Chain A
């Protein structure tokens, strides 16, 4: 019986499923059918594979070929199955040793000339294959660097189908071709800007430091030209490097999104995403037909999502951020299945104080009516603003102010504060103060604590809502961590209240 089999990997979002690719060759009218819920790109594999096999110098079997991708009920998409389909057909035709090809996972798109082209999502695919117990993976050489990032994987990079066939004992001449280069457009990585570039704005710098130390979401409000955008862009520079798990997660998201440059290895720095304010919900949370691809919110996983001119974003976009802010992940349902992407980002929003942007200080220059000002911020308020722990006013700076501390100095303090927080939160699933729920924080302080008393006092006088009190407490803990204190003091609480307060709004 002419049967060939091998393995490939199907990605649904970030989840990898091992797919068994079987080819049956029947002595009948020559035909080639591909079954197992392929999408259009995958159906076209038939034509690519046929041309590639002939161009590789092998004979295309003159049989009725049925290729099945099992589990047959899982929708499969993309061109990454080409190599596995070709290998299974050749194995079924007896052109190579079927037993040697069967246990190997094959990933890669085939060119008509038989060359192997790189595909997206190799990192999660290889990780999935290794997790399923198939550690030997053939990948296009352009993806080899990315595939090697997976621990425990036995990666075999290949340039050409003939090369792969020759490994399995096919009698074929391996052409001397130039490998197809990786065509991924690597995101433009600007050198991380230094905080010393920001003149003045001592309060805002302090707020940024607290936000970095505690992972708190941040809103910056100020007139144009005061450095809101500069400040936000310098936040990633204050954050520590990603740890090993986070690094792999972030790299996998960027691999699926097609924005990962394998030459630079795992993504170790927190990513920074600043979508334009005309972005659609699909661009932010992810979208696309079939299985949705990750959007800016997921690409900012473990990093910073910066919304400049936040009130100008469409209401639907701002609302769509509520789910990731709450759960730290996005579940996108499309026809071909639900994709689950992580999206635990630090949200930074910048806004002008009013539509004309001049409502600063006493607001004498402002030409906006009070109603227009209110409506401007009404778009942000509600559930979204509820989750923003720090709201800072960025005033117009005075001239000739001395440059402040550099990013390196501040990052040192941030790192120390994060270490303290982690030590305290050891044994829980939280890593930063911003993730910790209020009851836990209150429980670790004691009811008699002067800070607790003061907070209760503020709530009783209706200066703070109960939720606002929790938020102030979280920030106070971060300030205490920065100061190296065991417990937040009344002074820390006072500063937290100031950082929470924007124009008297608590």
Chain B
């Protein structure tokens, strides 16, 4: 669903759930000449905070390391790299809400 949202926003999804020894990247996409590393966070309710709040600085640092690992493993040469967060809230009633936060770090 997050991938659909990104593609609707005009991004091209390159990879999903890519794993290496450091951890996992949820989505890797390209936005023109920019590589976008996407973290997808899903919550059922906001009682314990919004999904975006669950992305800590430590998590962002790991995403940066993983982005470098992904680039060295693939033959892609983007001009710049960006980290986005897609926050998905799935309430009990009603459809899921998707929020795309661009360039968080």
B36 to chain A, nearest CB (A): 14
Task: List A residues at the B interface (Cβ < 8 Å).
Answer: 27-30, 62
Residues from chain A with a CB closer than 8 A to the CB of B102 are: 27-28
Closest to A27 in B: B101
A29 near B85: Cβ-Cβ < 8 Å: yes
Counting CB contacts under 8 A, is B20 at the interface?
Answer: no
Counting CB contacts under 8 A, is B60 at the interface?
Answer: yes
Report, nearest first, the 8 A-B pairs whose CB atoms are least far apart.
A28-B104, A29-B104, A30-B53, A62-B50, A29-B55, A27-B101, A28-B101, A30-B52
Residues from chain B with a CB closer than 8 A to the CB of A30 are: 50, 52-53
Residues from chain A with a CB closer than 8 A to the CB of B105 are: 29
Main secondary structure of the interface of A (DSSP, over half): loop
B103 to chain A, nearest CB (A): 7
Closest to A28 in B: B104
Closest to B53 in A: A30
- C-alpha gap A389/B10 in the complex (Å): 87
Q: Which of A27, A28, A29 has the most CB of B within 10 A?
A: A29
Closest to B49 in A: A30
Residues from chain B with a CB closer than 8 A to the CB of A27 are: 99, 101-102
Given A28-B103, A28-B104, A62-B52, output 13 extra A-B contacts at Cβ < 8 Å: A27-B99, A27-B101, A27-B102, A28-B101, A28-B102, A29-B53, A29-B60, A29-B85, A29-B104, A29-B105, A30-B50, A30-B52, A62-B53
Please name 21 pairs of A and B residues whose Cβ atoms are closer than 8 Å in the assembled complex, sorted by A.
A27-B99, A27-B101, A27-B102, A28-B101, A28-B102, A28-B103, A28-B104, A29-B52, A29-B53, A29-B55, A29-B60, A29-B85, A29-B101, A29-B104, A29-B105, A30-B50, A30-B52, A30-B53, A62-B50, A62-B52, A62-B53
A64 to chain B, nearest CB (A): 8
Closest to B83 in A: A29
- C-alpha gap A27/B102 in the complex (Å): 7
Tell me the B78-105 residues at the A interface (CB within 8 Å).
Answer: 85, 99, 101-105
- C-alpha gap A29/B53 in the complex (Å): 6
- C-alpha gap A28/B102 in the complex (Å): 7
Tell me the B19-39 residues at the A interface (CB within 8 Å).
Answer: none
Contact with A along B59-70 (1 / 0, CB 8 A): 010000000000
A379 to chain B, nearest CB (A): 60
- C-alpha gap A51/B104 in the complex (Å): 25
Closest to A30 in B: B53
Q: Which of B52, B60, B99, B105 has the most CB of A within 10 A?
A: B52
A27 to chain B, nearest CB (A): 5
- C-alpha gap A115/B29 in the complex (Å): 47
Residues from chain B with a CB closer than 8 A to the CB of A28 are: 101-104
- C-alpha gap A27/B86 in the complex (Å): 11
- C-alpha gap A27/B105 in the complex (Å): 12
Tell me the B39-76 residues at the A interface (CB within 8 Å).
Answer: 50, 52-53, 55, 60
- C-alpha gap A202/B103 in the complex (Å): 85
- C-alpha gap A62/B97 in the complex (Å): 14
Residues from chain A with a CB closer than 8 A to the CB of B50 are: 30, 62
A46 to chain B, nearest CB (A): 15
B6 to chain A, nearest CB (A): 15
A62 to chain B, nearest CB (A): 5
Closest to B57 in A: A29
B48 to chain A, nearest CB (A): 13
Residues from chain A with a CB closer than 8 A to the CB of B52 are: 29-30, 62
Closest to A64 in B: B104
B69 to chain A, nearest CB (A): 22
Closest to A29 in B: B104
Residues from chain B with a CB closer than 8 A to the CB of A29 are: 52-53, 55, 60, 85, 101, 104-105
- C-alpha gap A88/B99 in the complex (Å): 24
B61 to chain A, nearest CB (A): 12
- C-alpha gap A27/B52 in the complex (Å): 10
B83 to chain A, nearest CB (A): 10
